Structure 1
Amino acid sequence: MTTNVGLRKGERVPRRSLRLATTVVEDLIDAVVSGRLPVGEALPGEQALCDEFGVSRIVIREALQSLQQRGLVIIRQGHGTVVAPATQWNPMDDDVLDARIRHDDSLTVLTDLVHVRVALESELAAVAASRRTDEQAAGLQPLIEELGEAVDDPGRYLDLDLKFHDAVLALSGNDIGRAIAASFHGHARSSSRYSGSTPTTEQLRHAQTGHSAIAAAIEAGDPEAARAAMRTHILSAWHIKTHSTH
Protein backbone atom coordinates (compact mmCIF):
# COMPACT_ATOMS: atom_id res chain seq x y z
CA MET A 1 0.00 0.00 0.00
CA THR A 2 1.32 3.45 -0.89
CA THR A 3 1.82 5.76 2.07
CA ASN A 4 1.32 9.42 1.23
CA VAL A 5 3.56 11.41 3.56
CA GLY A 6 2.41 14.76 2.16
CA LEU A 7 5.78 16.14 1.14
CA ARG A 8 5.05 16.88 -2.51
CA LYS A 9 4.19 20.41 -3.66
CA GLY A 10 2.29 19.03 -6.67
CA GLU A 11 1.32 15.83 -8.44
CA ARG A 12 4.12 13.59 -9.67
CA VAL A 13 4.66 13.52 -13.42
CA PRO A 14 6.98 11.11 -15.26
CA ARG A 15 10.48 12.48 -15.78
CA ARG A 16 13.85 11.12 -16.72
CA SER A 17 15.90 9.60 -13.89
CA LEU A 18 18.12 12.65 -13.31
CA ARG A 19 15.15 14.99 -13.30
CA LEU A 20 13.36 12.71 -10.86
CA ALA A 21 16.27 12.95 -8.43
CA THR A 22 16.31 16.75 -8.78
CA THR A 23 12.56 16.92 -8.14
CA VAL A 24 12.81 14.80 -5.01
CA VAL A 25 15.57 17.06 -3.67
CA GLU A 26 13.59 20.22 -4.42
CA ASP A 27 10.45 18.91 -2.74
CA LEU A 28 12.30 17.66 0.33
CA ILE A 29 14.12 20.99 0.66
CA ASP A 30 10.74 22.74 0.57
CA ALA A 31 9.33 20.35 3.17
CA VAL A 32 12.25 20.99 5.54
CA VAL A 33 12.50 24.76 5.09
CA SER A 34 8.73 25.26 5.31
CA GLY A 35 8.62 23.33 8.58
CA ARG A 36 6.40 20.56 7.24
CA LEU A 37 9.31 18.38 8.31
CA PRO A 38 10.34 20.07 11.58
CA VAL A 39 13.87 20.18 12.96
CA GLY A 40 14.68 16.96 14.79
CA GLU A 41 11.95 14.95 13.09
CA ALA A 42 12.82 11.72 11.37
CA LEU A 43 12.10 11.50 7.67
CA PRO A 44 9.90 8.63 6.46
CA GLY A 45 11.78 5.44 5.64
CA GLU A 46 13.23 4.79 2.21
CA GLN A 47 10.32 2.62 1.07
CA ALA A 48 7.74 5.22 2.13
CA LEU A 49 9.66 7.89 0.21
CA CYS A 50 9.92 5.60 -2.81
CA ASP A 51 6.14 5.15 -2.75
CA GLU A 52 5.52 8.86 -2.25
CA PHE A 53 7.74 10.03 -5.10
CA GLY A 54 7.40 7.02 -7.36
CA VAL A 55 11.15 6.53 -7.69
CA SER A 56 13.73 3.89 -6.87
CA ARG A 57 15.73 3.51 -3.67
CA ILE A 58 18.83 4.67 -5.55
CA VAL A 59 17.14 7.99 -6.37
CA ILE A 60 15.99 8.43 -2.76
CA ARG A 61 19.46 7.69 -1.40
CA GLU A 62 21.03 10.18 -3.81
CA ALA A 63 18.46 12.77 -2.80
CA LEU A 64 19.14 12.27 0.91
CA GLN A 65 22.86 12.54 0.32
CA SER A 66 22.25 15.82 -1.50
CA LEU A 67 20.22 17.14 1.44
CA GLN A 68 22.97 16.08 3.85
CA GLN A 69 25.57 17.95 1.78
CA ARG A 70 23.41 21.06 2.10
CA GLY A 71 23.27 20.60 5.87
CA LEU A 72 19.51 20.01 5.95
CA VAL A 73 19.52 16.48 7.32
CA ILE A 74 21.67 14.15 9.35
CA ILE A 75 21.91 10.57 8.09
CA ARG A 76 22.61 8.04 10.83
CA GLN A 77 23.32 4.59 9.49
CA GLY A 78 20.89 2.17 11.05
CA HIS A 79 18.94 4.97 12.76
CA GLY A 80 17.34 6.80 9.85
CA THR A 81 17.53 10.40 8.71
CA VAL A 82 16.52 13.42 10.78
CA VAL A 83 16.11 17.11 9.98
CA ALA A 84 19.17 19.08 11.07
CA PRO A 85 19.03 22.36 13.05
CA ALA A 86 18.62 25.45 10.85
CA THR A 87 22.04 26.65 12.01
CA GLN A 88 23.59 23.79 10.02
CA TRP A 89 21.80 24.59 6.74
CA ASN A 90 23.97 26.05 4.00
CA PRO A 91 22.62 29.61 3.59
CA MET A 92 24.59 30.09 0.36
CA ASP A 93 23.01 27.13 -1.43
CA ASP A 94 20.77 28.44 -4.22
CA ASP A 95 17.90 26.01 -3.61
CA VAL A 96 17.96 26.44 0.16
CA LEU A 97 18.05 30.23 -0.12
CA ASP A 98 15.18 30.29 -2.62
CA ALA A 99 13.08 28.07 -0.35
CA ARG A 100 13.82 30.25 2.67
CA ILE A 101 12.78 33.35 0.74
CA ARG A 102 9.65 31.59 -0.51
CA HIS A 103 8.56 30.87 3.07
CA ASP A 104 9.83 34.14 4.57
CA ASP A 105 6.50 35.42 5.92
CA SER A 106 8.23 37.62 8.52
CA LEU A 107 10.64 39.14 5.95
CA THR A 108 13.55 38.16 8.22
CA VAL A 109 15.52 36.44 5.45
CA LEU A 110 14.91 39.24 2.96
CA THR A 111 15.91 41.85 5.54
CA ASP A 112 19.12 39.91 6.19
CA LEU A 113 19.79 39.85 2.44
CA VAL A 114 19.23 43.60 2.23
CA HIS A 115 21.71 44.18 5.07
CA VAL A 116 24.29 42.00 3.32
CA ARG A 117 23.66 43.91 0.12
CA VAL A 118 24.10 47.22 1.95
CA ALA A 119 27.41 46.15 3.46
CA LEU A 120 28.77 44.82 0.18
CA GLU A 121 27.51 47.42 -2.29
CA SER A 122 28.30 50.36 -0.02
CA GLU A 123 31.89 49.23 0.32
CA LEU A 124 32.24 48.54 -3.40
CA ALA A 125 30.79 51.97 -4.20
CA ALA A 126 33.49 53.49 -2.01
CA VAL A 127 36.14 51.46 -3.82
CA ALA A 128 34.67 52.55 -7.15
CA ALA A 129 34.97 56.20 -6.11
CA SER A 130 38.64 55.73 -5.23
CA ARG A 131 39.59 53.70 -8.30
CA ARG A 132 37.56 55.09 -11.17
CA THR A 133 39.17 56.98 -14.01
CA ASP A 134 37.67 60.22 -15.26
CA GLU A 135 36.41 58.41 -18.35
CA GLN A 136 34.75 55.69 -16.26
CA ALA A 137 33.15 58.23 -13.94
CA ALA A 138 31.74 60.14 -16.89
CA GLY A 139 30.20 56.91 -18.14
CA LEU A 140 27.68 56.93 -15.28
CA GLN A 141 26.06 60.16 -16.42
CA PRO A 142 24.31 58.71 -19.49
CA LEU A 143 22.78 56.05 -17.23
CA ILE A 144 21.55 58.70 -14.81
CA GLU A 145 19.96 60.55 -17.71
CA GLU A 146 18.29 57.38 -19.00
CA LEU A 147 16.95 56.65 -15.51
CA GLY A 148 15.57 60.16 -15.28
CA GLU A 149 13.73 59.71 -18.56
CA ALA A 150 12.20 56.43 -17.36
CA VAL A 151 10.54 57.53 -14.09
CA ASP A 152 7.13 57.19 -15.77
CA ASP A 153 7.96 53.69 -17.07
CA PRO A 154 8.49 51.35 -14.06
CA GLY A 155 9.51 48.32 -16.12
CA ARG A 156 12.20 50.20 -18.01
CA TYR A 157 13.32 52.01 -14.86
CA LEU A 158 13.84 48.77 -12.94
CA ASP A 159 15.87 47.31 -15.81
CA LEU A 160 18.04 50.44 -15.87
CA ASP A 161 18.32 50.28 -12.07
CA LEU A 162 20.00 46.87 -12.36
CA LYS A 163 22.25 48.23 -15.09
CA PHE A 164 23.27 51.21 -12.94
CA HIS A 165 24.11 49.14 -9.86
CA ASP A 166 26.09 46.66 -11.97
CA ALA A 167 28.01 49.57 -13.53
CA VAL A 168 28.96 50.85 -10.07
CA LEU A 169 30.06 47.38 -8.97
CA ALA A 170 32.07 46.99 -12.17
CA LEU A 171 33.93 50.24 -11.43
CA SER A 172 35.12 48.73 -8.14
CA GLY A 173 37.13 46.16 -10.10
CA ASN A 174 36.07 43.48 -7.60
CA ASP A 175 34.58 40.75 -9.77
CA ILE A 176 33.97 38.44 -6.80
CA GLY A 177 32.02 41.08 -4.88
CA ARG A 178 30.14 42.01 -8.03
CA ALA A 179 29.09 38.40 -8.61
CA ILE A 180 27.99 37.89 -5.00
CA ALA A 181 25.95 41.10 -4.97
CA ALA A 182 24.29 40.19 -8.27
CA SER A 183 23.47 36.69 -7.03
CA PHE A 184 21.94 37.85 -3.76
CA HIS A 185 19.95 40.58 -5.49
CA GLY A 186 18.74 38.06 -8.06
CA HIS A 187 17.44 35.73 -5.36
CA ALA A 188 15.69 38.60 -3.57
CA ARG A 189 14.08 39.94 -6.76
CA SER A 190 12.53 36.52 -7.42
CA SER A 191 10.26 37.15 -4.42
CA SER A 192 7.14 39.26 -4.79
CA ARG A 193 7.65 40.26 -1.15
CA TYR A 194 10.91 41.92 -2.14
CA SER A 195 9.82 43.35 -5.46
CA GLY A 196 6.53 44.59 -4.04
CA SER A 197 3.86 46.24 -6.14
CA THR A 198 4.64 48.32 -9.21
CA PRO A 199 6.50 51.41 -7.94
CA THR A 200 4.84 54.79 -8.33
CA THR A 201 6.40 57.70 -10.21
CA GLU A 202 6.99 59.38 -6.85
CA GLN A 203 8.87 56.34 -5.55
CA LEU A 204 10.98 56.19 -8.70
CA ARG A 205 11.83 59.88 -8.41
CA HIS A 206 12.93 59.21 -4.84
CA ALA A 207 15.11 56.34 -6.09
CA GLN A 208 16.49 58.62 -8.77
CA THR A 209 17.66 61.06 -6.10
CA GLY A 210 19.63 58.19 -4.57
CA HIS A 211 21.13 57.13 -7.88
CA SER A 212 22.20 60.69 -8.65
CA ALA A 213 23.86 61.03 -5.24
CA ILE A 214 25.82 57.81 -5.76
CA ALA A 215 26.97 58.86 -9.23
CA ALA A 216 27.94 62.32 -8.04
CA ALA A 217 30.05 60.93 -5.19
CA ILE A 218 31.84 58.51 -7.51
CA GLU A 219 32.45 61.23 -10.08
CA ALA A 220 33.85 63.44 -7.33
CA GLY A 221 36.18 60.64 -6.20
CA ASP A 222 34.72 60.76 -2.67
CA PRO A 223 34.67 57.23 -1.17
CA GLU A 224 32.93 58.20 2.08
CA ALA A 225 30.17 60.04 0.26
CA ALA A 226 29.74 57.13 -2.17
CA ARG A 227 29.53 54.64 0.70
CA ALA A 228 26.94 56.75 2.54
CA ALA A 229 24.89 57.43 -0.59
CA MET A 230 24.68 53.74 -1.52
CA ARG A 231 23.74 52.76 2.03
CA THR A 232 21.01 55.39 2.23
CA HIS A 233 19.67 54.49 -1.19
CA ILE A 234 19.31 50.74 -0.55
CA LEU A 235 17.91 51.05 2.97
CA SER A 236 15.48 53.75 1.92
CA ALA A 237 14.17 51.62 -0.94
CA TRP A 238 13.68 48.63 1.40
CA HIS A 239 11.91 50.83 3.95
CA ILE A 240 9.50 52.04 1.28
CA LYS A 241 8.80 48.48 0.09
CA THR A 242 8.14 47.08 3.56
CA HIS A 243 5.86 49.95 4.53
CA SER A 244 3.93 49.86 1.27
CA THR A 245 3.11 46.15 1.65
CA HIS A 246 2.25 46.09 5.37
Structure 2
Amino acid sequence: MSYTPASASYRPLSSQRLHEGVVQQIVAQIMSGGLVPGASLPSEAALAQQFGVSRTVIREAVRMLVSKGLVVVKHGSGMLVQPSEQWNYLDPLVLFEHLRVSQDKTVLNELLELRRIVEVEVAALAAQRRTAEDMQTLYKFVEQMRTVIGDPRTFTRFDIAFHDAILAIARNRLLAQTLRPANQALYVARLISSQRYSRSEASERGHEEILSALEKGDPQQAREAMHRHIKQFEDDIHTILAPGFSFDVSDLAHELD
Protein backbone atom coordinates (compact mmCIF):
# COMPACT_ATOMS: atom_id res chain seq x y z
CA MET A 1 0.00 0.00 0.00
CA SER A 2 1.38 3.42 -0.95
CA TYR A 3 0.87 6.69 0.86
CA THR A 4 0.64 10.19 -0.50
CA PRO A 5 3.39 12.42 0.86
CA ALA A 6 2.17 15.65 2.44
CA SER A 7 2.98 18.90 0.65
CA ALA A 8 1.79 21.25 3.40
CA SER A 9 4.07 24.01 4.62
CA TYR A 10 4.03 25.38 8.15
CA ARG A 11 4.91 28.64 9.90
CA PRO A 12 7.65 28.79 12.55
CA LEU A 13 6.26 29.21 16.06
CA SER A 14 7.09 31.59 18.87
CA SER A 15 4.41 30.62 21.43
CA GLN A 16 5.25 29.38 24.91
CA ARG A 17 2.98 26.37 24.32
CA LEU A 18 4.67 25.31 21.13
CA HIS A 19 3.03 21.92 20.72
CA GLU A 20 -0.42 23.56 20.62
CA GLY A 21 0.67 25.78 17.74
CA VAL A 22 1.89 22.72 15.84
CA VAL A 23 -1.40 20.93 16.47
CA GLN A 24 -3.51 23.90 15.39
CA GLN A 25 -1.73 24.27 12.05
CA ILE A 26 -1.86 20.55 11.25
CA VAL A 27 -5.53 20.31 12.25
CA ALA A 28 -6.31 23.24 9.94
CA GLN A 29 -4.45 21.47 7.10
CA ILE A 30 -6.40 18.25 7.65
CA MET A 31 -9.80 19.94 7.93
CA SER A 32 -9.20 22.04 4.80
CA GLY A 33 -8.14 19.01 2.75
CA GLY A 34 -4.52 20.06 2.50
CA LEU A 35 -3.70 16.75 4.17
CA VAL A 36 -6.08 14.04 2.96
CA PRO A 37 -6.77 10.70 4.66
CA GLY A 38 -3.91 8.33 3.99
CA ALA A 39 -1.40 11.13 3.45
CA SER A 40 1.85 10.83 5.35
CA LEU A 41 3.12 13.73 7.39
CA PRO A 42 6.74 14.80 7.04
CA SER A 43 9.17 13.06 9.33
CA GLU A 44 9.60 14.17 12.93
CA ALA A 45 12.89 15.84 12.04
CA ALA A 46 11.41 17.61 9.00
CA LEU A 47 8.45 18.91 11.00
CA ALA A 48 10.77 20.17 13.74
CA GLN A 49 12.76 22.10 11.13
CA GLN A 50 9.67 23.56 9.43
CA PHE A 51 8.10 24.71 12.69
CA GLY A 52 11.38 25.81 14.20
CA VAL A 53 10.89 23.68 17.33
CA SER A 54 12.51 20.70 18.99
CA ARG A 55 11.65 17.10 18.19
CA THR A 56 10.26 16.83 21.74
CA VAL A 57 7.65 19.45 20.84
CA ILE A 58 6.75 17.54 17.68
CA ARG A 59 6.36 14.30 19.65
CA GLU A 60 3.93 16.00 22.05
CA ALA A 61 2.00 17.48 19.13
CA VAL A 62 1.76 14.08 17.45
CA ARG A 63 0.53 12.57 20.71
CA MET A 64 -2.29 15.15 20.78
CA LEU A 65 -3.15 14.56 17.11
CA VAL A 66 -3.37 10.81 17.80
CA SER A 67 -5.67 11.46 20.79
CA LYS A 68 -7.97 13.50 18.52
CA GLY A 69 -8.21 10.58 16.09
CA LEU A 70 -6.60 12.59 13.28
CA VAL A 71 -3.28 10.78 12.93
CA VAL A 72 -2.00 7.26 13.42
CA VAL A 73 1.63 6.32 13.84
CA LYS A 74 2.62 3.13 12.01
CA HIS A 75 6.01 1.48 12.29
CA GLY A 76 7.71 1.63 8.92
CA SER A 77 5.10 4.01 7.44
CA GLY A 78 5.42 7.07 9.65
CA MET A 79 2.56 9.37 10.64
CA LEU A 80 -0.58 8.99 8.54
CA VAL A 81 -3.77 11.04 8.41
CA GLN A 82 -6.76 9.00 9.58
CA PRO A 83 -10.08 8.66 7.70
CA SER A 84 -12.69 11.16 8.89
CA GLU A 85 -14.65 8.33 10.52
CA GLN A 86 -11.86 8.11 13.11
CA TRP A 87 -11.85 11.82 14.01
CA ASN A 88 -13.02 12.79 17.50
CA TYR A 89 -15.70 15.34 16.71
CA LEU A 90 -16.27 15.98 20.42
CA ASP A 91 -12.82 17.55 20.55
CA PRO A 92 -13.49 21.33 20.33
CA LEU A 93 -10.66 22.05 17.89
CA VAL A 94 -11.77 19.26 15.56
CA LEU A 95 -15.49 20.12 15.82
CA PHE A 96 -15.28 23.87 15.28
CA GLU A 97 -12.49 23.80 12.68
CA HIS A 98 -14.49 21.20 10.73
CA LEU A 99 -17.59 23.39 11.06
CA ARG A 100 -15.71 26.51 9.96
CA VAL A 101 -14.32 24.80 6.86
CA SER A 102 -17.28 22.63 5.81
CA GLN A 103 -20.29 24.47 7.26
CA ASP A 104 -21.70 21.00 8.00
CA LYS A 105 -23.59 21.38 11.29
CA THR A 106 -24.62 17.74 11.61
CA VAL A 107 -22.28 16.92 14.50
CA LEU A 108 -23.03 20.22 16.25
CA ASN A 109 -26.76 19.52 16.02
CA GLU A 110 -26.24 16.04 17.45
CA LEU A 111 -24.24 17.53 20.33
CA LEU A 112 -26.95 20.09 21.11
CA GLU A 113 -29.63 17.41 20.86
CA LEU A 114 -27.76 15.23 23.35
CA ARG A 115 -27.55 18.07 25.82
CA ARG A 116 -31.24 18.94 25.45
CA ILE A 117 -32.44 15.35 25.94
CA VAL A 118 -30.34 14.85 29.06
CA GLU A 119 -30.60 18.22 30.81
CA VAL A 120 -34.34 18.71 30.38
CA GLU A 121 -35.13 15.48 32.19
CA VAL A 122 -32.34 16.05 34.70
CA ALA A 123 -34.05 19.32 35.68
CA ALA A 124 -37.27 17.42 36.41
CA LEU A 125 -35.42 14.93 38.60
CA ALA A 126 -33.63 17.73 40.41
CA ALA A 127 -36.97 19.40 41.19
CA GLN A 128 -38.06 16.21 42.93
CA ARG A 129 -34.81 15.50 44.76
CA ARG A 130 -33.31 18.87 45.72
CA THR A 131 -32.63 19.71 49.33
CA ALA A 132 -32.42 23.08 51.08
CA GLU A 133 -28.63 22.81 50.92
CA ASP A 134 -28.80 22.10 47.18
CA MET A 135 -30.86 25.23 46.65
CA GLN A 136 -28.34 27.33 48.55
CA THR A 137 -25.62 26.10 46.20
CA LEU A 138 -27.68 27.01 43.12
CA TYR A 139 -28.57 30.45 44.50
CA LYS A 140 -24.86 31.06 45.09
CA PHE A 141 -23.99 30.30 41.46
CA VAL A 142 -26.82 32.49 40.13
CA GLU A 143 -25.68 35.38 42.32
CA GLN A 144 -22.10 34.94 41.12
CA MET A 145 -23.28 35.03 37.50
CA ARG A 146 -25.08 38.32 38.12
CA THR A 147 -21.83 39.92 39.23
CA VAL A 148 -19.77 38.86 36.18
CA ILE A 149 -22.15 39.36 33.25
CA GLY A 150 -19.54 41.53 31.51
CA ASP A 151 -16.85 38.84 31.81
CA PRO A 152 -17.70 36.01 29.35
CA ARG A 153 -15.10 33.51 30.53
CA THR A 154 -15.93 33.84 34.22
CA PHE A 155 -19.66 33.87 33.48
CA THR A 156 -19.28 30.70 31.44
CA ARG A 157 -17.49 28.93 34.29
CA PHE A 158 -20.29 29.79 36.74
CA ASP A 159 -22.84 28.80 34.08
CA ILE A 160 -21.22 25.37 33.80
CA ALA A 161 -21.03 25.07 37.59
CA PHE A 162 -24.78 25.80 37.81
CA HIS A 163 -25.68 23.12 35.29
CA ASP A 164 -23.23 20.63 36.79
CA ALA A 165 -24.83 21.23 40.19
CA ILE A 166 -28.25 20.39 38.76
CA LEU A 167 -26.82 17.17 37.32
CA ALA A 168 -25.50 16.31 40.79
CA ILE A 169 -28.81 17.20 42.47
CA ALA A 170 -30.64 14.77 40.15
CA ARG A 171 -28.63 12.07 41.94
CA ASN A 172 -28.21 9.80 38.94
CA ARG A 173 -24.55 9.11 38.31
CA LEU A 174 -25.09 7.60 34.86
CA LEU A 175 -26.94 10.66 33.61
CA ALA A 176 -24.17 12.89 34.94
CA GLN A 177 -21.57 10.82 33.08
CA THR A 178 -23.52 10.88 29.82
CA LEU A 179 -22.51 14.46 29.06
CA ARG A 180 -18.92 14.15 30.28
CA PRO A 181 -17.38 13.35 26.85
CA ALA A 182 -19.07 16.45 25.41
CA ASN A 183 -18.08 18.87 28.19
CA GLN A 184 -15.21 20.59 26.39
CA ALA A 185 -17.14 21.10 23.16
CA LEU A 186 -20.13 22.48 25.09
CA TYR A 187 -17.80 24.80 27.03
CA VAL A 188 -16.45 26.28 23.80
CA ALA A 189 -19.97 26.63 22.36
CA ARG A 190 -21.10 28.49 25.51
CA LEU A 191 -18.08 30.74 25.42
CA ILE A 192 -18.54 31.56 21.75
CA SER A 193 -22.17 32.47 22.45
CA SER A 194 -21.38 34.70 25.41
CA GLN A 195 -18.55 36.52 23.58
CA ARG A 196 -20.14 37.15 20.22
CA TYR A 197 -23.64 38.09 21.35
CA SER A 198 -24.77 39.81 24.52
CA ARG A 199 -26.50 36.67 25.65
CA SER A 200 -25.28 36.57 29.24
CA GLU A 201 -28.25 38.58 30.54
CA ALA A 202 -30.75 36.35 28.73
CA SER A 203 -28.92 33.27 29.97
CA GLU A 204 -28.97 34.58 33.53
CA ARG A 205 -32.75 35.13 33.32
CA GLY A 206 -33.11 31.56 32.13
CA HIS A 207 -31.16 30.34 35.13
CA GLU A 208 -33.49 32.25 37.46
CA GLU A 209 -36.54 30.61 35.84
CA ILE A 210 -34.97 27.17 36.34
CA LEU A 211 -34.11 28.07 39.92
CA SER A 212 -37.69 29.14 40.62
CA ALA A 213 -39.08 25.85 39.26
CA LEU A 214 -36.64 23.84 41.35
CA GLU A 215 -37.50 25.85 44.46
CA LYS A 216 -41.18 25.01 43.93
CA GLY A 217 -40.34 21.33 43.46
CA ASP A 218 -42.33 21.31 40.21
CA PRO A 219 -40.87 18.76 37.73
CA GLN A 220 -42.92 19.88 34.73
CA GLN A 221 -42.14 23.55 35.26
CA ALA A 222 -38.47 22.62 35.65
CA ARG A 223 -38.57 20.71 32.34
CA GLU A 224 -40.17 23.65 30.55
CA ALA A 225 -37.78 26.22 32.02
CA MET A 226 -34.73 24.14 31.10
CA HIS A 227 -36.07 23.49 27.60
CA ARG A 228 -36.60 27.22 26.98
CA HIS A 229 -33.14 28.00 28.30
CA ILE A 230 -31.41 25.42 26.12
CA LYS A 231 -33.50 26.30 23.05
CA GLN A 232 -32.42 29.94 23.40
CA PHE A 233 -28.78 28.84 23.51
CA GLU A 234 -29.25 26.63 20.44
CA ASP A 235 -30.81 29.49 18.48
CA ASP A 236 -27.95 31.79 19.49
CA ILE A 237 -25.17 29.38 18.54
CA HIS A 238 -26.74 28.67 15.14
CA THR A 239 -27.00 32.40 14.45
CA ILE A 240 -23.39 32.96 15.48
CA LEU A 241 -22.00 30.04 13.49
CA ALA A 242 -23.44 31.27 10.22
CA PRO A 243 -21.32 30.95 7.05
CA GLY A 244 -18.18 33.06 7.36
CA PHE A 245 -17.84 32.97 11.13
CA SER A 246 -14.25 33.42 12.22
CA PHE A 247 -14.08 32.52 15.90
CA ASP A 248 -10.60 31.19 16.68
CA VAL A 249 -11.03 28.11 18.85
CA SER A 250 -7.25 27.86 19.13
CA ASP A 251 -7.35 30.87 21.46
CA LEU A 252 -9.00 28.58 24.02
CA ALA A 253 -6.45 25.78 23.84
CA HIS A 254 -4.84 26.65 27.17
CA GLU A 255 -8.24 26.41 28.90
CA LEU A 256 -9.04 22.97 27.51
CA ASP A 257 -6.10 20.96 28.83
TM class by shorter-chain length?
Answer: 0.5 to 0.7
Distance verdict in 2 for CA 1:119–1:184, change over 3 Å? farther
CA distance in 2, matches of 1:25, 1:244: 25
Partner of 1:74: 72
Q: Is the 8 A contact 2:13 2:51 kept in 1?
A: yes
Matched, 1:54 2:37: no
| Structure 2 residue runs without a partner (length 5+) | 1-5, 243-257
CA distance in 2, matches of 1:169, 1:74: 36
Aligned length: 228
Q: Is the 8 A contact 1:118 1:234 kept in 2?
A: yes
Q: Deviations over 1:157-208 (max 9, x none)?
A: 98397164454344334678288375443222343xx3463327xx945862
Matched, 1:185 2:186: yes
The sequence identity of aligned pairs, in percent, is: 34
Query: Which aligned pairs between 1:84-163 and structure 2 lie closer than 5 A?
Result: 84-92=82-90, 96-105=91-100, 106=103, 108=105, 109-134=107-132, 136-137=134-135, 154-155=149-150, 159=155, 162=159
**Rg larger in structure:** 1
Q: CA RMSD in A?
A: 4.1
2:224 to 224, 228, 239: 228
CA distance in 2, matches of 1:29, 1:225: 43
Q: Is the 8 A contact 1:39 1:83 kept in 2?
A: yes
2:211 to 201, 204, 215: 215
- What secondary structure is seen at the aligned counterpart in 2 of 1:155? coil
- What secondary structure is seen at the aligned counterpart in 2 of 1:226? helix
Displacement of 1:39: 2.3
Displacement of 1:37: 1.6
Partner of 1:199: 198
Q: Is the 8 A contact 1:130 1:222 kept in 2?
A: yes
Q: Is the 8 A contact 1:46 1:60 kept in 2?
A: yes
Q: Deviations over 1:109-144 (max 9, x none)?
A: 543432232233223212211210245447656877
Distance verdict in 2 for CA 1:174–1:184, change over 3 Å? farther
Q: Is the 8 A contact 2:142 2:204 kept in 1?
A: no
Q: Is the 8 A contact 1:50 1:56 kept in 2?
A: yes
- What secondary structure is seen at the aligned counterpart in 1 of 2:80? strand
Q: Deviations over 1:73-105 (max 9, x none)?
A: 23333233321112212344xxx4234324523
Displacement of 1:56: 5.1
Distance verdict in 2 for CA 1:86–1:227, change over 3 Å? farther
- What secondary structure is seen at the aligned counterpart in 1 of 2:196? coil
